[in-house]
Structure 1
Amino acid sequence: MTLLELTDVTASYGPVRVLEGVSLSVPEGGAVGILGANGAGKTTTLRAISGTVRTGGRITFDGRNIRGSRPDKVASLGIAHVPEGRGTLAQLSVRENLRVGAYLRKDRKAIATDLDYCLDLFPQLKDRINSRAAALSGGEQQMLAVGRAFMAKPRLLLLDEASLGLAPSTAKAVYAAIRRLRQESGIAMLVVEQNANLAFTLVDTATVLETGRNVLTGSADELKGMDEIRRAYLGG
């Protein structure tokens, strides 16, 4: 079953058109990657879904047209966005950040259970539970951002450059936790990632954007086997 579908989506910042007609779909429980050079429109695609940029075309989530919906409405439908730069609440503690993620929920016992799950998923956060987010390392902040998004109990996670600025070992640890989260929760994921090697450990399929358009779509295995993909994104 298709959970999210974009059809000929355009997006603009003022007079500047960034997306020229992007189409993609994410199945229920699936993980799809978006690859492309800087300026290709990857981050803007996620922003179009979450309602933070002016868009055209059609965006449907669980059969409902959400194009043009306010970000709070999109979030309430079950879409959580982990933006580039993480966006943690710097002056709040780790515990408070995680609880902020659950602000729309009323199920207190389930919230407590999910908070414990986050701390099991990211043991580093358990040791820093009362620390302010501003005092965390970059890797810990990324873990906190993912954990806070999970606390919203989403059906779809939009993940933007989770490895950006992280040491390779830290990035691998973050992605290992995200893979576990996907396996255990069944949350669907749409993943923008500059490190294609990491992305391919998580996603089933991927699409390549160039200047705001899809130019190539295929399974992770198919794309990894293409010479042009290896040269451009895999260092081969």
Structure 2
Amino acid sequence: MTLLELVDVTASYGHVQVLDGVSLTVPDGGAVGILGANGAGKTTTLRAISGTVRTGGKITFEGRDIRGFRPDQVAALGIAHVPEGRGTLPQMSVMENLRVGAYRRKDRKGIATDIDYCLELFPQLKDRIGSRGAALSGGEQQMLAVARGFMAKPKLLLLDEASLGLAPSTAKAVYEAIRRLRAESGIAMLIVEQNATLAFSLVDTATVLETGRNALTGTSAELKGMDEIRRAYLGG
């Protein structure tokens, strides 16, 4: 079953058009990647879904047209966005950040259970539970951002450049946790990632964007086997 569908989506900042007819689908429980060079429109695609940029075309979630929805309305439907740059609340503690992620929820026992799960998934955060977000390392901030997104109990997680600026070993650890989160929670994911090796380790299918348009779409195995993908993203 299709959870999210974009059909010929356009997006612009002022008079500058960034997306020029992007189409993709995310199945319920699936994981889809978005690859592309800087400026290809990857982040803007996530922003179009979240309602933070002016869009055209069609964006449907669970069969409902959500184009033009405000960000809070999109979030209320069950879409959580972990933006590029992590977006933790720097003056709040790790625990407070996690509770903010669950601010729409009323199930106190469920919230407590999910906080325990996040701290087990990211044990580094358990050791820093009282530390302010600003005091965390880059890797810890990324872990907290993912955990806070999960605390909303979304149906779809939008994840933007989770490995950006991280040491390879830290990026690998973050992705191992995200893979486990996907397997254990069943949350669908739409993932923008500059490191295609990491992306292909998690997603089922991927779309490559070029200057705001679809260039290639296929399974992870199909795309990894293409010479142009290996040269551009896999160093081969």
Q: Shorter chain as normaliser: what TM range?
A: over 0.9
1:85-124 to 2 correspondence within 5 Å?
85-124=85-124
Q: Which residue of 2 aligns with 1:175?
A: 175
2:214 alignment partner AA? N
TM (norm. structure 1) is: 1.00
1:137 alignment partner AA? S
Unaligned runs of 5+ in 2: none
1:59: how far off?
Answer: 0.2
CA distance in 2 between counterparts of 1:200 and 1:43 reads: 18
1:190: how far off?
Answer: 0.2
1:139-218 to 2 correspondence within 5 Å?
139-218=139-218
Q: Deviations over 1:110-139 (max 9, x none)?
A: 000000000000000000000001000000
1:102 alignment partner AA? A
Write out the 4+ residue segments of structure 1 that deviate beyond 3 Å after TM superposition.
none
Q: Which residue of 2 aligns with 1:17?
A: 17
Say which SS state the counterpart of residue 129 (structure 1) adopts: coil
Say which SS state the counterpart of residue 229 (structure 1) adopts: helix
2:215 alignment partner AA? V
2:223 alignment partner AA? L
Q: Which residue of 1 aligns with 2:228?
A: 228
1:4-83 to 2 correspondence within 5 Å?
4-83=4-83
Identity %: 86
Say which SS state the counterpart of residue 140 (structure 1) adopts: helix
CA distance in 2 between counterparts of 1:128 and 1:182 reads: 24
Unaligned runs of 5+ in 1: none
The root-mean-square deviation of aligned C-alpha atoms, in Å, is 0.3
Say which SS state the counterpart of residue 84 (structure 1) adopts: coil
TM (norm. structure 2) is: 1.00
How many pairs are equivalent?
236
Q: Deviations over 1:111-170 (max 9, x none)?
A: 000000000000000000000010000000000000000000000000000000000000
1:205: how far off?
Answer: 0.2
